Amino acid sequence: MTMYDLIERLDEEEEEKETEEPQKEDPLGKKMAEFFLQSRTILLFEQISPKVTRRVITQLLFLNEQDPKKEIKIFINSPGGVADDGLAIYDLIKLIDAPVKTIVCGLAASAAAIILVAAKKENRLALPHSRIMIHQPLGGVRGSTKDIEISTQQIVRLKQELNEILARETGQPVEKVAQDTNRDYWFTADEAKAYGMISKTVTGLSKI
């Protein structure tokens, strides 16, 4: 069984639990996924959910175990998702020994922007027409007055944590990041470079 087969089986088991229907085999999709895994390339082209996080973390751990000195590329085109899932991937990128390069090809918003900056600054790239967005964590709070108070404290703590990460990875003062993330803050690729989110824009695969 290949690593792709293992990841696919885990995903299929999860989907079958949700739909109670067996998943149809996709030979072309399987072949493409195996190709990208063999080339040490991870595609993050969807909303960041627990399922996506499990897949990305599994791939990172496998590729690091396979060769901890060889680069892993993560191509990002994602609207973001749950902050905790984004932080889990961020922490894994920091944890493994293999160097990671993140490349935005479209959109890196919210939690996806946190994953983007997990790579060393010189390894953070974007295609020319990419967009990047940072903001404060979103969360609906319900329950008793005490539960609302606890949840609000956690959101404030998470906001501070995300601001500190962005400040550390971009070189911006944390006060500026806090001000910028009070609302959706959008960057073009060039603006992201000036801010410190990426090191450069690229126009050819040979430059990645």
Single pTM value for the model: 0.86
Residue that is written with structure tokens 């404030």 in the block: 156
Rg (CA), the chain: 18
| pLDDT tens digits for range 135-153 | 988 655 556 777 777 777 8
34, part of any domain: no
Cα 16 from Cα 101, distance rounded (Å): 33
Cα 195 from Cα 208, distance rounded (Å): 20
- Structurally, the chain folds into a number of domains equal to 1
Query: Is 110 designated active site?
Result: yes
Query: Is 135 designated active site?
Result: yes
Considering 129, 130, 135, 206, which one is annotated as catalytic? 135
* CATH number reported for the structural domain that contains residue 164 in this entry: 3.90.226.10
pLDDT for 88? 98
Residue 108 sits at φ, ψ, to 5 deg, of -135, 95
Which segments of the chain have a pLDDT < 50? none
Determine the structural domain holding residue 153 and report its residue range.
Answer: 40-207
pLDDT for 29? 67
Considering 39, 78, 110, 129, which one is annotated as catalytic? 110
pLDDT for 1? 52
In this structure, what DSSP letter does residue 39 have? T
10, part of any domain: no
In the numeric block, which tokens belong to residue 39?
Answer: 């080339």
167, part of any domain: yes
3, part of any domain: no
In the numeric block, which tokens belong to residue 147?
Answer: 């539960």
Residue that is written with structure tokens 């989907």 in the block: 15
